[in-house]
Structure 1
Amino acid sequence: MILFELTNTENHPVYKSLEVENGDRQYAFVNSVAIASRDIGRPFLSQHVIKALNYHAIACLHISAGEYRPCEVRVGQHQPPPYYRVPALMDDFVNQVNRHWNETDPVVLATYVLWRLNNIHPFVNGNGRTARAACYFVLCLALGRFPQGKIILPQLIKQNRPEYVEALQKAHVAFAERGEPDLNDLHALVVRLLGEQIASA
């Protein structure tokens, strides 16, 4: 059963209900894997984790849950890389993150994860949900703890979608023009929303 194929909309009440339940399962998975990583003393990000985050987000909502996209896509003004480059780009991405656990500020690293996953756009669907979850996963591991708060960072990012999308696009444009993303606005957003999460505790 793929609900989007049956309803042709993400606004159907049944889709919305399962989307919430999938989100709960996705963040339970984030917590479990983060705790396991912490307990063995080896913070890591892997393609297996990222694929699992996507699977939990869109299982039974969209096709190809947890699988890299086999086609070209366009997201608003952003043109992600060709589909055939996705595996190599994702390999380079996770290696880049794993090389910088100890020398990079946790919020800076999490911001990079949030942007780069959106930039590569490795899945057919659920990329935003996956990027926000991966961002939070990396943040928690890099901090060595789960920040307190009733409303967590990924939810707050979603609630501030227009500002979030604008900051992403600014980073995409800079990366396309200069080979380096301008993450200043996205970082400022993550810092502010993390403060809101902590204040909600």
Structure 2
Amino acid sequence: MHGRILDAAAELFTKNGYAGTSIEAIAARAGIGKLTLYRRFADKDAVFLAVALRMAERSRAELREIADGDGELADVLGAIGRHLLGIILSPQSIAFHRILFAEAARLPELFARIVPDQPTEMPDATRRLFHRLAERGLVRREDVAFLDQQFVHAIIGKPLRKALFGASPMTAREQEEHVRKAVALFMHGMTRYSAL
């Protein structure tokens, strides 16, 4: 039932936004009574948080699997980049980003839980990859978080901003070209930066 509630809520938040989604609508879509939903979640904020955290964890798990694979660094970064861009530009992700930005001032604790300011104890996919490079002496250990941040922003920065402002969706070819160029630039820059 928990998963059914979150599936229903994710669908409604994506379609109707935060303000346009009610507890009653979530319960109805999940096929349960409102009181049953309230036994599991205190309020709509709690439902939204649970949906957002589940989305984030699923994405992290998929990306970790790619990052932990074998292959040349550029190929692994390219695979991570393609998958990450696909996740970020999905209609559900765009809808949830818009909600997060709209509700961040009203619900700072909620925003902090979903978008932590500090790295978590369990590194994300690219950070894990850069940690492995640091263990091999290919990058400095103190640069791992910085490299992780720079790579992620190179992949999603501009495409996400454009999507949030309603630009036409990137085609598969445009996404592939964007990732290819971002990875090539990052590899070149990382090599030079690590030598400083």
| Fold match by TM threshold 0.5 | no
Q: Give TM-score, length-normalised by structure 2.
A: 0.37
Higher helix share: 2
Q: Work out which of the two has the higher radius of gyration on C-alpha atoms and give 1 or 2.
A: 2
Superposition TM-score, scaled by structure 1 size: 0.36
